[in-house]
Structure 1
């Protein structure tokens, strides 16, 4: 029987001791485990002010900063252990702008590259605390930083945009991430990291964030390499008008709603958010932080565009539907209907805009032999959206004058008690390599006998990329993606191999038959 990477946190523990380090902000106390120093809940911004942009934390600490335990996570519904694995105890709070650092203890001849991980969760759930970077830090020989950022309603409305053309909208999630990267630039050398070699890695919503950071003018110079695992496309659409959505829900005027948003308790806003997905961020371009289309912003970087690795799983939608079932508890017929509605909604990513969705769905049905409903339909939409995101971001990066590499991951996985084809989140199991850490928390298991050796090679590749800006040979030959041959690396537990123009059928019969994305006005 295939053996998955196993999460042994409930059965094994490793010896750990406290350790202290001097930094420019003062003394800090953390945990020494497996030869890695871990500092949890380090403040990268001043205490968060509701619906206001993050302010970089620069004030020294008065006493020794206790970073031995997890602190607050972003306000959200209770995190599901079935989805995220064992979750350390921590309060849900608006003041959540914290990060965790994992730094190898062994001396190094030079400052280590830095890997900043941005968690996924549809911009509504998740936490840095769900991802222990110990095994990643060891295998990549890098300083690993996992960041929290605001989610849901608290990330989707910005008081500073009131009275402007973006009234009622916001991108505090992206501003938080940029602030965290500024903190890394200013402070990571104190932990043995090189602020001139920062790689951002993200999965799902985190991968969308990675793409946004590669494009955002305010992030230029803060990110030097990028890895986007299952990235959606940031379309030129209006952000959600949170004020209007809340006003409609509560039957109040706009002025009354703004006052309510300012003064309501955290619990009241959390309860309100549970009632409407419209109160969560819709990541889009053409905003103050992303002032143009993704094509315009990335290509404007020219040769300074961030070198990129981007990829997707071969059956992205299978775990998405299981995740919905676990989170909702709905019976399967209801789950199928809701999954269909969600898939139609996210089709705007593969279609590169709402105006193209109907034609996009018609073309997809045609190329797939008429799939129009059920799990196969949901899987088709999710997979094609992430496939197109990976390829298009790679091609934007290449056109700008930098280099990009594309992968497709085909590794069976065990999720929610079932073994399914390679699906959403499989990259996380390789990146955090739980097979080499008996206290690992990542729950999405690669269900293959070669999972742990492959994870070691994957992590070694990430370390090489973080150092040198190219993936090296840990996974074998991997040519850069370019418009003529369109090389991709097929990542399998049995064998990694180079394939050319994997997306040819969808590119020719779907993508190229849609109107080009709009330009920013």
Structure 2
């Protein structure tokens, strides 16, 4: 497969923040006497069972940034499951929106809170809250889990600002960090049984955050009995994995999966293969070796392992949730089909041109060939592959080989698994399917690519990583803002009621109603159904290359 230069990062040194006494690091929100608070902070101060928290006034909202939901995953906690955050004395001034879990910065695709080239502070398990000021209680709660291939991303990106969602939906909005890369998603049980399960520690971080939210969100005015979890890309894969854990209803009551389902969670065999590859490439042979490494050294070894992986697909599936049989009991589609997520209302969807996103980092993506596609094409469908290719070509006269391959990958990885998951869950709760079709109408545009819906559903209209997006906003702001308003309304209405609106019917296999998001949102029954049906012979288990 092609290699994406976006992930090639030379190792860089950076100074980490020094741990201060207690549970906070230099520069983060720290306990303070109530007398030291400003008037705006006093107006946004709440009391929880772990301590008082002072937020910041932002219009009609209170914002709380940098609340620890778990103990720092440092020292003895490194590579361990998240531990409870300690209580604090005094009042925590929650105004620190700088936390980013360790990663090499990729500002072309992420919207970082600073211009650092590398982030090295492992004390990063913090969340942010946006809450309307009025004294109302039992507001719906919207929790967002960011994407980034379990390598990039953070809760403090400006494009994930929760102000519009909180205001429009009269809701409590939460964003959260979780450990990335080798620190959160490498299975170390083979080196030491005490570390068994470490390959899903990033998922455990997210579960710990959702548990903290359930325990404390009422203090912010939220309803712990009405939590909607939203994830995009890796965040959606993670939420899908949670649907395969025992009693996911304990964590959230509704879910919105944007461009990601359990199909791209990894199988146990792929996790084992990736772990073996990491050890072989880096020369790591013991837990002691890993624990002795600095954060910068770990990131360097991580990059070395990613460089040795099988191109873009290998990188995209190297880290992330996997079916371990203990936490994630079985592939998501299997567990959902059995009713494991009973009662959890669902919105799931994809973007029309997801994988053209990567062409901004490597133009060769647009020229991908059928032989290159063989790396991930399901072997169970090999005998009918020629007929499938012919069908996709017939529906796209004049399309290039690259266009056909990208359309097939889009259906295999995103669109068809979304319809399959919605159909399975429709027996046990309300399910809705969408396709996002908006694309910039200018020369820079790559189409309705991966992440293109994010500026719209958050209402921030920040087009980081979307070529031509900023130019489209400048030339067509009125229509873009109107589409965003409709999507924000649908997402928040769903969070409040479980129904995104009367114009959007539930998904049934008899009709396959799909909301097409564009300047004039329209429901279409069974869009491109002939192509969808070509995949009927594939079960969409957890991903394992060449199976």
Query: 2: distance between equivalents of 1:210 and 1:389?
Result: 14
Indicate how the Cα distance of structure 1 residues 361 and 17 shifts in structure 2: closer, same or farther if over 3 A, else same.
farther
Residue 294 (structure 1) aligns with:
332
Indicate how the Cα distance of structure 1 residues 133 and 183 shifts in structure 2: closer, same or farther if over 3 A, else same.
same
Residue 110 (structure 2) aligns with:
84
* Deviation sequence 1:393-417 (CA, Å, 0-9, x none): 1012113x212000111111389x8
State how 1:438-477 maps to structure 2 within 5 Å.
444=466, 445=469, 447=472, 448=476, 449-473=478-502, 477=503
Residue 504 (structure 1) aligns with:
529
Query: 1: distance between equivalents of 2:288 and 2:374?
Result: 34
| Mapped contact 1:365–1:372 kept (Cα < 8 A) | no
| Mapped contact 1:205–1:231 kept (Cα < 8 A) | yes
Query: 2: distance between equivalents of 1:360 and 1:427?
Result: 33
Query: 1: distance between equivalents of 2:451 and 2:540?
Result: 30
| Mapped contact 2:214–2:251 kept (Cα < 8 A) | yes
Which of residues 53, 74, 77 in structure 2 aligns to 1:28? Answer: 53
4+ residue runs over 3 A deviation: 16-20, 88-92, 158-169, 234-237, 299-303, 335-345, 355-364, 370-376, 440-449, 513-519
Indicate how the Cα distance of structure 1 residues 514 and 188 shifts in structure 2: closer, same or farther if over 3 A, else same.
closer
Pair 1:119 & 2:161 matched? no
Query: 2: distance between equivalents of 1:36 and 1:124?
Result: 31
Q: TM-score, normalised by structure 1?
A: 0.82
Q: State the Cα distance separating 1:29 from its structure 2 match.
A: 2.4
Residue 105 (structure 1) aligns with:
133
State how 1:99-248 maps to structure 2 within 5 Å.
99-108=127-136, 110-130=137-157, 131-159=160-188, 170-217=199-246, 219-232=248-261, 233=263, 234=265, 236-241=267-272, 243-248=275-280
Which of residues 80, 84, 98 in structure 2 aligns to 1:52? Answer: 80
| Mapped contact 1:168–1:243 kept (Cα < 8 A) | no
Indicate how the Cα distance of structure 1 residues 203 and 361 shifts in structure 2: closer, same or farther if over 3 A, else same.
farther
| Mapped contact 1:79–1:87 kept (Cα < 8 A) | no
* Deviation sequence 1:256-311 (CA, Å, 0-9, x none): 34332222111111001111225842433353211122233223336834110011
Pair 1:482 & 2:508 matched? yes
Indicate how the Cα distance of structure 1 residues 515 and 29 shifts in structure 2: closer, same or farther if over 3 A, else same.
closer
| Mapped contact 2:243–2:341 kept (Cα < 8 A) | no
| Mapped contact 1:133–1:432 kept (Cα < 8 A) | yes
* Deviation sequence 1:232-263 (CA, Å, 0-9, x none): 413644242355223311446xxx34332222
> Using CA pairs below 8 Å that are at least 6 residues apart, which structure has the higher relative contact order?
1
Pair 1:427 & 2:457 matched? no
Residue 409 (structure 1) aligns with:
436
Query: 2: distance between equivalents of 1:86 and 1:515?
Result: 38
Residue 329 (structure 1) aligns with:
none
Q: How many residues align?
A: 473
Residue 6 (structure 1) aligns with:
none
| Mapped contact 1:128–1:148 kept (Cα < 8 A) | yes
| Mapped contact 1:170–1:239 kept (Cα < 8 A) | no
| Mapped contact 1:407–1:490 kept (Cα < 8 A) | yes
Indicate how the Cα distance of structure 1 residues 66 and 442 shifts in structure 2: closer, same or farther if over 3 A, else same.
farther
Residue 13 (structure 1) aligns with:
none
Pair 1:386 & 2:407 matched? no
| Mapped contact 2:392–2:531 kept (Cα < 8 A) | no
Q: Which runs of 5+ in 2 are unaligned?
A: 1-38, 310-314
Q: TM-score, normalised by structure 2?
A: 0.78
Equivalent position SS for 2:445:
strand
